[in-house]
Structure 1
Amino acid sequence: MKEKRICFIHTVNGLVDMFTTLSRELIPGGKLCHIVDETLIQRVLAAGGLTPAIHRRVAEHAAAAEQNGAAVIQLTCSSISPCVDTIRQMVSVPLLKVDEAMVDMAVGKYRKVGIIATAPTTLKPSTDLVFQKAGARQDPIEVESVLCEGAFDAFLAGRVDEHDKIVRGRLLDLMGKVEVVLLAQASMKRIADALEEKERTVPVLSSPRPAVERLARIVSS
């Protein structure tokens, strides 16, 4: 496969290793670059959502990635996923939402979908995307959205064990109510991975692997 440059735009530095590892596994011929801008998520949290300034900032990063040779650009934060809809026409290479491939796996296959997040700025975009995809297919769907109250603050304060305990409890509860659970944040994947097999009463999907699998298909086409 001809080497193609893939650029990831992150809002937290901790996701660089995760997406690099997946890319090395699934796209061994891909040349990677990473743009990390943690001020983006800080601005989203401070404003309670996206603002015109945040859209412009993401657009600047996407334009810079294309100018530096990116053949495809992947956002890795669901909180800024809606930016793709406004700036996709500003670049001439594919610009992708991190959660879109995961949502595509669920919509049309399951009717009762659970979505779990620790940040409200992530929960709404992911929920909206599920309804948007289901609406486009005219598929009936029921969505149970769960915010893990207190988990995000615990994570920011460095209380990782407390964060994981809250998320695990809400995740187990949600699995008893739906047919599939979508993890709205890539950082929650390790908690789902730690579940025992007997606890996995329904499929639990996370966004990183489906997103990189889709990247692999794009760069090989």
Structure 2
Amino acid sequence: MNESPPLVAMIHAVPAAHRIAQEAFAQEFPRATVWNVLDDRLLDDARTTGGLTDALRRRMLRLIAHVMDGGAQGLLLTCSSYGEVVDTARALWDVPVLKSDESLFKAALSGPYRRIAVVASTPPAVPAAVAQLEALVPAVRPDRPVDLVTALSEQAAGAEPAAAARHLADALHAAGGTDADAVLLAQYSLAPARDALAALLGVPVLDGAGAAARELRGLLTPAGAPAVVS
């Protein structure tokens, strides 16, 4: 008898992340049943308040409780600005809960890159990404230091991919990060600009949605189960 497909919930703060994450799961973890939950005020409210407030943290936890009560077997928060809430969620629920770019950062730190650039188009995403990367360094690469450089281009937000790539490349140049060995996109909404940015910079540009889908596939798929169910 075939087991039921695992139910994976994704909580989004911007509509673009929904589409990008959905496409990644369709490619990397098609066996999963995906449940999308969107609160499109989460990011704007965090910008208005200058970061996460206790009220915003409680709001995200209510959304997480909603999907857990609905039977979610895995959860991905696609907004990097709310990553810190995951630590609380992991203490409250015995279900895999991933931060938006956690899988990406682990993969990047496991790679050969010495100098890593993090680029974003919204201010809260920058410190959130750096905090996650720095927290992972002792566990993933304790014997190899990593040099981080960050760049922010709010002009890239909502721009079409080629224009977003140019804005991000300009911001990285201004930050002195054009000598980075790899560039990490700190937001799912920037994923469409990945290939154009890689062409401009001549280095690997990595995004988080596919990495998260692969990690949840490994956590939720029994050994030997088929990757695709027709």
Question: Does the pair score TM above 0.5?
Answer: yes
Corresponding residue for residue 208 of structure 1: 209
Corresponding residue for residue 189 of structure 2: 187
Compute the displacement of 1:102 (Å): 0.7
What TM-score, normalized to structure 1?
0.88
Q: 1:116-127 counterparts in 2 under 5 A?
A: 116-127=119-130
Corresponding residue for residue 116 of structure 2: 113
Corresponding residue for residue 60 of structure 1: 62
Q: Which residue type is aligned with residue 31 of structure 1?
A: T
- Measure the CA separation in 2 of the matches of 1:143 and 1:115: 7
1:144 to 145, 149, 154: 149
Compute the displacement of 1:144 (Å): 0.6
Compute the displacement of 1:171 (Å): 5.0
What TM-score, normalized to structure 2?
0.84
2:132 to 95, 115, 129: 129
Query: Residues 177 and 196 of structure 1: is their aligned pair in 2 closer, same or farther, counting only changes over 3 Å?
Result: closer
Query: Residues 38 and 27 of structure 1: is their aligned pair in 2 closer, same or farther, counting only changes over 3 Å?
Result: same
Q: Which residue type is aligned with residue 188 of structure 2?
A: A
Q: Which runs of 5+ in 1 are unaligned?
A: none
Question: Are the aligned partners of 1:72 and 1:95 in contact in 2 as well (CA < 8 Å)?
Answer: yes
Cα deviation code 1:36-72 (max 9, x no counterpart): 0112112211111111111111111111111111100
Cα deviation code 1:50-102 (max 9, x no counterpart): 11111111111111111111100110111111111122211221111110011
- Measure the CA separation in 1 of the matches of 2:108 and 2:119: 14
SS in 1 for 2:183: strand
- Measure the CA separation in 1 of the matches of 2:70 and 2:124: 30
Q: Which runs of 5+ in 2 are unaligned?
A: 223-230
Compute the displacement of 1:209 (Å): 0.9
Query: Residues 58 and 176 of structure 1: is their aligned pair in 2 closer, same or farther, counting only changes over 3 Å?
Result: same
Bigger Cα displacement from structure 2, 96-105 vs 1-10: 1-10
Corresponding residue for residue 104 of structure 2: 102
Q: Which residue type is aligned with residue 32 of structure 1?
A: V
Question: Are the aligned partners of 1:168 and 1:191 in contact in 2 as well (CA < 8 Å)?
Answer: no
